[in-house]
A and B are shown apart, each in its own frame.
Chain A
Amino acid sequence: MTAWLRLHAMAFAGTLAKLAATPFATLLNALVIGVALALPAGAYVLLVNLQTAARGVSSDPEFSVFMALDAQKADVADIDKRLRALPDVARVEFRSREAALAEFRRHPSMGDVIAALDRNPLPDAFIVRVARNDGEVLDALAARVRGWPNVEHVQVDSAWVRRVAAAIGVGRASVLILAALLSFALLAVTFNTIRLQMLTQRDEIELAKLLGATNGTIRRPFYYYGALLGLLGGGAALAIVHGALHVLNRSVADLARQYGSDFRLDSLPPQDLASLLAFAALLGLCGAWLSVTRHLREFEPR
């Protein structure tokens, strides 16, 4: 058992030394893996941000009710009462047609247009906030209100929210496909790197086998190498994604300010970062396993 642990420690130390002995090759390999991983990781970060943004909008499940222009004060009061009596309604906000007109007048470009009109073209309106963020509840309520007297039009904003959600679903699937494809690239990189190493160390491997090394002992350093290379690649991918976010955020902040928002792109939560690193290390390990398993066969007895 102690011999086994010692062999592990030796393999690990040897691998670190090997990585450090060829810093340039190590850096390039890590970068290739990093770039391959950064693409799906970056797309995933954007997707998560988009989802968060969309959730920010759809967290206001509400619909607007526009009254007919000829509706009387009493009719409006009646609708107001009926709206408040509906199930799942959190809040009902009334916007009178006079208030709406005043608001339009204040708008510099609209003032003249409004002044040219001989009567107020705007209807009385209610903005109804629904307690539950559920598209079906929202639709059902809107449909009910649509049938009421003196109600001209009911507008639900949830439709486009659902469209965004569907688009995010498509994006998510695309990211998965991209990740799967580029994982093969990572596998290929580690596979090839290890194959080259086994070629250059052919004599040493052959001799170690002749001297009674088990296959496990010979495999171990390559496993560590593959996993560490994957880990370094994962680190490079994180650095690339963070660098890109930093650059993007300057432009995004500018754009968001135009819309009066302080929206910015956030990085992934720590557990996602950790799983990215673990995934990269695992892929490196798999590449090493494939390569070693394939090439160790040449050394078996004939």
Chain B
Amino acid sequence: MIEFSAVTKRYPGGHEALRSVSLKVGDGELLFITGHSGAGKSTLLKLLPVIERATSGSVIVNGQNVGTMRLAAIPYLRRNIGQIFQDQKLLYDRSVFDNVMLPLAVTGVHPKDAARRARAALDKVGLLAREKSNPIALSGGEQQRLAIARAIVNRPSIIIADEPTSNLDADYAAEIIDLFVAFHQVGVTVLIATHDETAVARAATRAQTRCVALRGGELVS
């Protein structure tokens, strides 16, 4: 359960990215947040793993007010939220496999156990055969799938994705959306920020989805 209550985010300099946004997301929901760039989609998502904190209002994740969370507690929150970043943040100095290992390595999971889970995640996104490659050698769609494998390797109960289909061909974008639908179907809460109407439409044909729109930092539907 995720609950935004009257959330406002004001950046230094006075720009208001979010204006009194209130939104409830139930467990296992597949939610699309649409809107033009600059509407506040990314900012809204960043509040969940506390990459940013709201200026006012509260953000509750699984009963915890993450806006007031101690710095030391934040890492444990983040381990339960699979994040797919707009700029992907893949590390190009190591293999596909090591990229997926990273979330497990930083939490001290036993290497054997970690390797098994990393391969399972790569298998799920169809990249098992490429585990030894460097991410730079992957296509755009493959890189996005790698980013998804890294996000799910910790088996999070929440996945947030920021523009996961931007810059992708329609076919690749469809594959990515199908992956998110599959996670939704096994009970994971999925929040996707996008301005890609076809992606939203494709998901709607495959699962029960919900769509909200942001405009100028305010929730309009």
Given A10-B105, A207-B102, A214-B72, are A301 and B110 also a contact pair (CB < 8 Å)?
Answer: no
CB pair A212 B102 closer than 8 Å: no
Q: In whole angstroms, what is the CA distance A213 to B74 when docked?
A: 9
A118 within 8 Å of B by Cβ? no
Q: In whole angstroms, what is the CA distance A206 to B110 when docked?
A: 23
A4 within 8 Å of B by Cβ? yes
Question: Shortest CB–CB separation between residue B104 and chain A, in angstroms?
Answer: 9
CB pair A7 B78 closer than 8 Å: no
B211 within 8 Å of A by Cβ? no
CB pair A7 B51 closer than 8 Å: no
A211 within 8 Å of B by Cβ? yes
Given A6-B108, A6-B110, are A210 and B50 also a contact pair (CB < 8 Å)?
Answer: no
> What are the residues of chain B within 8 A of A93 when measuring CB–CB?
none
Interface flags, B46-84, vs A, CB<8A=1, else 0: 000111110000000000000000011011111100010
CB pair A211 B53 closer than 8 Å: no
CB within 8 Å of B: which A32-50 residues: none
CB pair B53 A212 closer than 8 Å: no
Given A207-B102, A208-B102, are A213 and B51 also a contact pair (CB < 8 Å)?
Answer: no
A300 within 8 Å of B by Cβ? yes
Q: Which of B72, B76, B85, B103 has the most CB of A within 10 A?
A: B103
> What are the residues of chain A within 8 A of B111 when measuring CB–CB?
6
> What are the residues of chain A within 8 A of B201 when measuring CB–CB?
none
Give the secondary structure class of A's interface: helix
CB pair A301 B74 closer than 8 Å: yes
CB pair B89 A212 closer than 8 Å: no
Interface flags, B182-194, vs A, CB<8A=1, else 0: 0000000000000
- Interface size for B (C-beta < 8 A) is 28
> What are the residues of chain B within 8 A of A213 when measuring CB–CB?
75, 106-107
> What are the residues of chain A within 8 A of B71 when measuring CB–CB?
215, 300-301
Given A203-B91, A208-B102, are A3 and B52 also a contact pair (CB < 8 Å)?
Answer: no
**Partner among B53, B78, B108, B150 whose Cβ is within 8 Å of the Cβ of A3:** B108
CB pair B103 A211 closer than 8 Å: yes
Chain A, interface residues (CB within 8 Å), range: 20 to 34
Interface flags, A108-129, vs B, CB<8A=1, else 0: 0000000000000000000000
> What are the residues of chain B within 8 A of A10 when measuring CB–CB?
105, 108
Given A301-B50, A301-B52, are A208 and B106 also a contact pair (CB < 8 Å)?
Answer: yes
CB pair B91 A211 closer than 8 Å: no
CB pair A203 B107 closer than 8 Å: no
CB pair B78 A212 closer than 8 Å: yes
Closest residue of A by beta carbon distance from B69: A301
CB pair A212 B107 closer than 8 Å: yes
> What are the residues of chain B within 8 A of A2 when measuring CB–CB?
108, 110
A302 within 8 Å of B by Cβ? yes
B212 within 8 Å of A by Cβ? no
CB within 8 Å of B: which A197-232 residues: 203-204, 206-215, 217
CB pair B109 A3 closer than 8 Å: yes
Known: A204-B91, A213-B107. 10 other contacts (CB 8 A): A2-B108, A6-B108, A10-B105, A10-B108, A207-B102, A210-B85, A211-B78, A300-B71, A301-B51, A301-B71
